[in-house]
Amino acid sequence: MKVDCIFCKIVAGELPSQQFYQDELVTAFQDISAQAPVHVLIVPNQHFNDLGEMGDAQAEILGRIVQVAGQIAAREGIASEGWRLVTNIGKNGGQEVFHTHFHLLGGRPLGPLLSR
Ligand code: DGP
């Protein structure tokens, strides 16, 4: 756990969140500034600054994140209409919180991936 990391604190239950899922590898919780009817953040319980710090040794964690995203999408009723799973890395990626997280977005047409 990184002491000054808000997502580490959410994973540990030291900061409140609306939790969707937690197991020994990953935690999923509501994004505080939701941009779609469904906007869930899925994070590794272990601290990594971003996806670029994760590799083969984290294959199980990354697989679990993708698996959990699909399960939450189904549970939230957005699986058939479609959804998006994205992660931002660094300055150009627009990353604001430096603990790897994937945004699960859906519940409305999400438009193009990038603004034109
Ligand atoms: P990114 O730009 O990819 O780093 O997205 C960070 C997201 O984290 C952003 O959508 C807002 C969300 N967020 C920031 N602080 C908190 C918090 O304290 N709690 C929760 N639930 N979400 C947060």
The Cα 29–Cα 49 span in angstroms is 18
pLDDT tens readout for residues 51-91: 999 999 999 999 999 999 999 999 999 999 999 999 999 99
Evaluate whether residue 46 is within a structural domain. Answer: yes
Closest ligand 1 atom to Cα of 39: 10
Question: Based on the structure, what is the number of domains in the chain?
Answer: 1
Does the Cβ of 49 fall within 6 Å of ligand 1?
A: no
Asked whether the predicted pLDDT for residue 97 surpasses 90, the reply is yes
Evaluate whether residue 29 is within a structural domain. Answer: yes
Evaluate whether residue 69 is within a structural domain. Answer: no
Say which amino acid occupies 110: L
Evaluate whether residue 2 is within a structural domain. Answer: yes
61 CA to middle of ligand 1, Å? Answer: 20
Evaluate whether residue 89 is within a structural domain. Answer: yes
| Contact of 21 with 102, CB cutoff 8 Å | no
Across the range 98-112, mean pLDDT stands at 97
Residue 115 confidence (pLDDT): 77
Asked whether the predicted pLDDT for residue 116 surpasses 80, the reply is no
Evaluate whether residue 12 is within a structural domain. Answer: yes
CATH of the domain at 42: 3.30.428.10
Does the Cβ of 29 fall within 6 Å of ligand 1?
A: yes
Evaluate whether residue 45 is within a structural domain. Answer: yes
Evaluate whether residue 16 is within a structural domain. Answer: yes
